[in-house]
Amino acid sequence: MKTKIIRRKIKIAAEIIKKGGLVAFPTETVYGLGADALNRNAVKKIFEVKRRPLDNPLIAHVSSIDGVHEIAEVNKIAERLIEAFFPGPLTLVMKKKRIVPKETTANLNTIAVRMPDHKIALKLIELSETPIAAPSANLAGKPSPTKFEHVLELKGKIDAIIVGRTNIGLESTVVDTTVYPVKILRPGAITPEMLKEFVDVEIHKGKESKPKSPGMKYKHYSPDAELYVFVGEGVKKKIKEFANSLIEKGFKVGLAVSNAREYEEFEFVEELGSDLNDVAKNLFSALINLDKQNVDYIIAEGVESEGIGITIMNRLEKASGGNVYRI
Ligand code: TXA
Ligand code: MG
């Protein structure tokens, strides 16, 4: 399949969506891999291309508040959150309407809905005249794409890629509004503190036998290299010691650290930045770049668990399979 690279003509991308094709497009969080959320055959293709387990439901993206009501039953609580945070990096799980095929929601009677705060994404949805189902545009289990270049790995497998930029760098906050207090199923840029100004909030710990957000039971965000994360006061010394011990054994080691200049003696170093928003923006890109250089191990510097730092550590925790060490 020839993949069209689309720069400005969003209309062409919308025609592809209307015909049941797949289009990768930028949002303010990460790149999404979109298809008509109401077309079961189009949605099935997303699962095939991503090699995504069929029981992991998709987020439906809309371009207006009316669009939310077309596909979901909006209760008072959801309404309050929509008013406060849409468009933005918040996904609300609500009761689904019958118009949505079961393929989109992986047989659940709920649907996750989000209105992205991104010009290109909004335009694409509007011109397509349908909600767009879109997971992150990576292969299942891998770090999410935050740049146009990252999505090129899907070239030949999808109909089009729209050139553009993301902003936040981590996926949206997913909140279940069918229960009260509402439950955070996945942390994101909209923090518990922000939500608590409008509703009572509980944070899902993900230890129940039946995961509430189906995606939580799978390996996630993981680079091919084995990832270790260190966080705390003496982190620089610890990272250097650990990296050197692996290098002595003959392994190729990549580092993802706040300040690359402090690690000049190492060959594969990606800078995350020291501001938490920069770390969020750079994290997935750093992991993807180090993987491209075929390192055996990646050692990353963690951050304090406050504000968006909670989300950064959530992704590092999952990406490393729990290899997080506080020192
Ligand atoms: O920022 C984002 O949310 C990006 C951009 C493209 O919008 N999308 C994204 O989609 O991260 P994905 O498929 O990678 O993650 C969706 C998450 C999964 O953990 C999934 O299990 C959960 O949302 N989810 C979707 N529908 C659900 C539902 N009905 N109930 C509970 N969880 C649901
Ligand atoms: Mg994903």
Residue 39: exposure state from Cβ atoms within 10 A (0-12, 13-18, ≥19): buried
pLDDT at 209 (0 to 100): 42
Tell me the whole-structure pTM to 2 decimals. Answer: 0.95
Fold that domain 4-203 belongs to in CATH:
DHBP synthase (3.90.870)
In this structure, the dihedral spanned by the alpha carbons of residues 296, 33, 163 and 320, taken in order and rounded to 10 degrees, is -20
Write down the pLDDT at residue 42.
98
> Looking at domain 226-326, which CATH architecture does it have?
3-Layer(aba) Sandwich (3.40)
pLDDT at 220 (0 to 100): 85
Closest CA to 96 of 59, 147, 150: 59
**pLDDT score of 216:** 61
* Nearest atom in ligand 1 to 89's CA: 1
For residue 170, the 8-state DSSP code is S
> How far is ligand 2, taken at its centre, from the CA of residue 240, in Å?
31
In tens, the pLDDT along 114-126 reads: 999 999 999 999 9
- Which band of pLDDT confidence, cut at 50, 70 and 90, is reported for residue 206? low
Task: List residues near ligand 1 (CB under 6 A).
Answer: 27, 29-30, 32, 56-59, 91, 93, 105, 108, 110-112, 114, 134-136, 171-172, 174, 185-186, 213-215
**Ligand 1 pocket test: which of 52, 113, 136 has the largest number of ligand atoms within 8 Å of its C-beta?**
136
Ligand 1 centroid to 262 CA: how many Å?
37
pLDDT number for residue 217: 61
* Residue 255 confidence (pLDDT) above 50: yes
Q: Tens digit of pLDDT for each residue in 162-198?
A: 999 999 999 999 999 999 999 999 999 999 999 999 9
Mean pLDDT of the chain: 95
Ligand 2 centroid, distance to 263 Cα (angstroms) = 31
pLDDT tens digits for 119-166?
999 999 999 999 999 999 999 999 999 999 999 999 999 999 999 999
Tell me what percent of the residues of the chain surpass a pLDDT of 90.
93
pLDDT at 44 over 60: yes
- Domain layout of the chain by residue ranges: 4-203, 226-326
Tell me, what amino acid is at 71? I
Banded model confidence at residue 204, pLDDT cuts 50, 70, 90: confident
